[in-house]
């Protein structure tokens, strides 16, 4: 075994959590090199998110688009599992942090987290189409590829509740404005539209882009990695999760399940029956 000097051990320990994000010394904090006292009051929260995730400050136009994408996902009411879980957790006595952690846990592939997979599919279409390829054709091929692999649902499209998601059109308008200003290239907006067309063909009806699909377009246009897209959605939904946890806390009710007790759930197991004879013969056990 090689002997290590105290200096080497100290250097290794310092490098253990090597980070390029923040530098802290007594009385001094700098994020990505910028002193915190310069950031406070000058940098808006979406700009701060960008700085933290990307290492540099965004242009005002990029920040505006990111901010717009973070607004509509904050809440989708107590029917959304993430919001319901937050409220139920509070009625079970969990503090705000426990309620938020419980709710965030369900923001995975199917609920809330579909944006990440959607971004991955958009990138797949982008690569397949290359510079010259037709986007609808490439989208059709990618959808077929996934269908053949047993994944018949295209994440980011369709909705249980909304025939047309009211959050999509205003964000498309902002994308068009950002493209006209040269903030984004508009390629992923066109890919999103192409997916809508490709999905409509076999079904003969529109399966419209939902909030995950449109925010996936924005995050792709802004150059975020797919996994960060999911994280950004979670940041946004966390606001609603917190608000609902807080509101429920003020109500002070205890142990609320997903439905009022008076509404029965459907039972689909065996009909009432007697225990088999060998169990019935045991008599009633008494605790001593």
Binding-site member from 207, 214, 220, 234 for ligand COA (CB under 6 A): 207
Max CA-CA distance within the chain? 82
3-state secondary structure of 29: strand
> What x/- string results for residues 94 through 133 when contact with ligand COA is judged by CB under 6 A?
--------------------x-------------------
212 is an interface residue for ligand COA by CB under 6 A: yes
Cβ nearer to ligand COA, comparing 62 with 82: 82
> Could you say which of 140, 210, 236, 238 contacts ligand COA (CB under 6 A)?
210
Q: Long-range pairs for 134-141 at CB < 8 Å and ≥24 separation?
A: 135/190, 135/191, 135/193, 135/194, 136/194, 136/197, 136/198, 138/194, 139/191, 139/194, 139/195, 139/197, 139/198, 140/198, 140/201
Q: How far is the CB of 261 from ligand COA (least distance, A)?
A: 28
Interface with ligand COA by CB under 6 A: which range of 12-20, 132-140, 146-154, 264-272?
146-154
CA–CA separation, 211 vs 63, rounded Å? 19
Task: Return phi, psi of residue 248, to 5°.
Answer: -65, -35
Stretch that binds ligand COA, among 54-62, 98-106, 152-160, 170-178 (CB under 6 A): 152-160
CB 5, min distance to ligand COA, A:
56
Which of 4, 147 has the CB closer to ligand COA? 147
Q: In whole angstroms, how close is the CB of 49 to ligand COA at the nearest point? A: 22
User: Cα 141 from chain centroid?
Assistant: 26
**Residues near 155 by beta carbon (within 8 Å), at least 6 away in sequence:** 109, 114, 115, 117, 118, 121, 212, 213
Residues 37-76 that bind ligand COA (CB under 6 A): none
The contacts of residue 95 (CB under 8 Å, 6+ apart) are none
Question: Which listed residue (42, 160, 272, 285) binds ligand COA by CB under 6 A?
Answer: 160
Task: Give the interface with ligand COA as residue ranges (CB under 6 A).
Answer: 114, 152-160, 199, 203, 207, 210-212
């Amino acid at each position: 075994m090689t002997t290590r000097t105290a200096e080497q051990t100290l250097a290794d320990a310092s490098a253990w959590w090597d980070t390029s994000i923040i530098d802290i010394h007594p009385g001094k904090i700098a994020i990505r090199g910028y002193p915190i006292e310069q950031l406070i009051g000058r940098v808006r929260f979406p700009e701060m998110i960008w700085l933290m995730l990307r290492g540099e400050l965004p242009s005002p136009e990029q920040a505006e688009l990111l901010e717009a994408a973070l607004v509509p996902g904050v809440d989708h009411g107590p029917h959304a599992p993430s919001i319901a879980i937050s409220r139920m957790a509070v009625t079970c006595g969990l503090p705000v942090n426990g309620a938020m952690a419980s709710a965030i846990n369900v923001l995975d592939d199917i609920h809330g987290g579909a944006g990440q997979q959607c971004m991955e599919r958009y990138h797949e279409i982008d690569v397949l189409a290359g510079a010259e390829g037709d986007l609808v054709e490439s989208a059709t091929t990618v959808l077929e590829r996934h269908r053949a692999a047993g994944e018949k649902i295209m994440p980011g499209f369709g909705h249980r509740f909304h025939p047309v998601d009211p959050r999509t059109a205003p964000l498309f308008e902002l994308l068009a404005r950002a493209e006209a200003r040269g903030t984004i290239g508009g390629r992923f907006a066109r890919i999103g539209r192409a997916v809508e067309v490709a999905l409509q063909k076999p079904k003969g009806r529109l399966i419209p882009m939902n909030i995950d699909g449109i925010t996936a377009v924005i995050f792709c246009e802004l150059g975020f990695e797919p996994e960060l897209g999911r994280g950004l959605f979670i940041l946004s939904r966390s606001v609603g999760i917190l608000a609902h946890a807080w509101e429920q806390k003020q109500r002070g009710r205890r142990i609320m399940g997903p439905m009022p007790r008076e509404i029965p759930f459907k039972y689909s197991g065996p009909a009432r029956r007697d225990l088999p004879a060998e169990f019935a013969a045991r008599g009633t056990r008494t605790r001593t």
